[in-house]
Structure formats: structure tokens, C-alpha cells
């Protein structure tokens, strides 16, 4: 996969500008999407007793923040687009951090789970290892990362005003395993359709520490 030669700041700025300019339409177009399968996949994989501390990475206007809060969990949102972050605060009542995915500032060991639904594909492949390591550090030991991304043939670039990297399963596995995670499960969405009509690859991962994590990253 050849990385886009454009500066990272430009990639982030243009992608976030697209979401800011289309915030209202994005909310109307996604607010009724059913991602309960993804939410359940994350929550069921977390060990211990709820409520759980969950980071909704790329929370958008707050749809999934509301779902986690309704389940009784302590959810925090993170969103790079200013208008979407404001909408998420208003819609969910949850704490929402406005941060660029390429310049994350996360507390160490705070979260039981990270919910990255339709977001990590916006990270250029050359930056993905670092971002995944930062998410690993933000999780508690044996915490869980859920990710869902549109899959593809390992190409990346601009698509309708947004930057995207579209990995196949094996490439995605290499990235996440190298960051110190062990795969728990993966599936394609929407369920019940032929693979050609399942654009989304969802995967569930557990944070590993010590020798196990080091072995996976070598």
C-alpha cells in the first residue's frame, strides 16, 4: 500500500472540514442506523462487571454515545469535527473531547473498551500503527477494542471529500496485532447478505500486555 504523499495536516483538515460542512445531513442520514450488533460485540467481550468506561472514538453526532449511556455505561465521546462534537454533547449529555485522530491526547489505562465504529479507516496507513498503539495505551489491561471499517483491496486516498484507507482482513489483522492486540472475533456487515454486498468489516480485539504483546508485535 503506497501512502498518500499529502501532508497529514492537510488530510485531517480536509476530512474534518467535509464533516463540519455536512454535519446536519450526516446526522439525518445516520441517526437511524442500527449498529446494536457492534455495540453488543464490544460490551460482551469486556471482562468484569458493568458499568464500563467506554471511549466512543469518532462519536459523530452522538448516536452511539446515547446507546451506551442508555445501557448504563460511562461513555466518553471523541470527535474531530467541531460541529459534530457540539451535536454529540447536546444529543447525549455525555462528555465529548474534540481531538484530531492524528493528534490524540488520551489518558493511560482509563477505558474498559474503545468503540471505533466507521472511523479508523480515515487514518492514513502510515499513521495507523501509532494510533493503534495510543488506543492500546488508553485501555485498561485486557480491555477491548472494537473496530468497523469499509474493507477493500488495500488502497487509500480521497473519496467524496474524505480520506480513507480500505484494508482487507489480513492487512487489518497485521496492523492491529502488531499494536499488541489479540483478535477475538470478526464479521462482515450487513448480516445475512452475500459478501459482495457486505461493505463493512467488524473486528473485536483484546489488549495484551507483557511478553504476549511483545511477541505479537515482532
Give the mean model confidence (pLDDT) for residues 13-36.
94
pLDDT confidence bin for 3, thresholds 50/70/90: very low
Q: Could you give the 3-state DSSP secondary structure of residue 155?
A: strand
Write the DSSP symbol of residue 194: -
C-alpha span between 72 and 50 (Å, rounded): 8
Region for residue 74 given its phi and psi (left: phi exceeds 0; alpha: psi -120 to 50; beta: otherwise): beta
Closest by CA to 163, choosing from 105, 119, 132, is 119
In Å, how far are 22, 98, 131 from 83, measured between CA atoms?
A: 9, 10, 23
C-alpha span between 42 and 36 (Å, rounded): 10
Closest by CA to 55, choosing from 200, 207, 190, 211, is 207
Give the mean model confidence (pLDDT) for residues 8-24.
95
Tell me the domains of the chain and their CATH numbers.
8-216 (3.40.50.150)
pTM, full prediction: 0.93
Burial of 70 (0-12, 13-18, 19+ CB in 10 A): exposed
C-alpha span between 9 and 115 (Å, rounded): 24
Write the DSSP symbol of residue 92: H
C-alpha span between 130 and 92 (Å, rounded): 29
Summarize pLDDT for 93-129 with one digit per residue, the tens.
999 999 999 999 999 999 999 999 999 999 999 999 9
| Cβ partners under 8 Å of residue 97, min gap 6 | 76, 77, 78, 79, 85
Give the mean model confidence (pLDDT) for residues 72-76.
98
Q: Estimate the crossing angle of helix 63-70 against helix 82-92, to 10 degrees.
A: 30
The percent of residues above 90 in pLDDT, for the chain, comes to 90
Q: Count CB-CB contacts under 10 A for residue 109.
A: 12
Q: What's the residue count for the chain? A: 218
Q: What is the pLDDT of residue 214?
A: 55
C-alpha span between 19 and 31 (Å, rounded): 15
Examine residue 131 and say whether the peptide bond preceding it is cis (omega within 30 degrees of 0): no
Summarize pLDDT for 128-182 with one digit per residue, the tens.
999 999 999 999 999 999 999 999 999 999 999 999 999 999 999 999 999 999 9
Give the mean model confidence (pLDDT) for residues 33-59.
97
**pLDDT surpassing 60 at residue 37:** yes
Examine residue 51 and say whether the peptide bond preceding it is cis (omega within 30 degrees of 0): yes
**pLDDT surpassing 60 at residue 31:** yes
Mean per-residue pLDDT over the chain, rounded:
94
pLDDT confidence bin for 2, thresholds 50/70/90: very low
**pLDDT surpassing 70 at residue 216:** no
Amino acid at each position: 500500500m503506497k501512502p498518500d504523499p499529502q501532508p497529514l495536516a492537510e488530510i485531517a483538515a480536509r476530512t474534518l472540514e467535509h464533516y463540519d460542512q455536512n454535519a446536519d445531513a450526516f446526522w439525518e442520514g445516520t441517526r437511524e442506523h442500527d449498529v446494536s450488533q457492534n455495540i453488543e460485540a464490544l460490551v460482551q467481550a469486556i471482562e468484569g462487571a458493568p458499568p464500563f468506561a467506554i471511549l466512543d472514538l469518532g462519536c459523530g453526532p452522538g448516536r452511539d454515545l446515547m446507546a451506551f449511556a442508555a445501557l448504563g455505561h460511562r461513555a466518553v465521546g471523541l470527535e474531530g469535527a467541531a460541529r459534530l462534537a457540539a451535536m454529540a454533547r447536546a444529543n447525549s449529555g455525555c462528555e465529548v473531547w474534540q481531538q484530531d485522530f492524528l493528534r490524540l491526547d488520551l489518558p493511560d489505562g482509563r477505558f474498559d473498551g474503545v468503540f471505533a465504529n466507521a472511523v479508523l479507516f480515515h487514518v492514513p496507513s502510515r499513521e495507523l500503527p501509532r494510533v493503534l498503539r495510543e488506543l492500546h495505551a488508553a485501555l485498561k489491561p485486557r480491555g477491548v477494542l472494537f473496530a468497523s471499517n469499509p474493507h477493500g483491496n488495500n488502497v487509500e486516498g480521497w473519496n467524496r471529500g474524505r480520506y480513507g484507507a480500505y484494508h482487507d482482513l489480513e492487512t487489518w489483522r497485521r496492523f492491529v496485532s502488531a499494536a499488541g492486540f489479540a483478535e477475538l472475533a470478526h464479521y462482515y456487515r450487513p448480516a445475512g447478505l452475500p459478501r459482495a454486498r457486505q461493505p463493512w468489516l467488524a473486528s473485536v480485539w483484546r489488549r495484551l500486555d507483557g511478553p504476549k504483546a511483545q511477541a505479537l508485535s515482532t
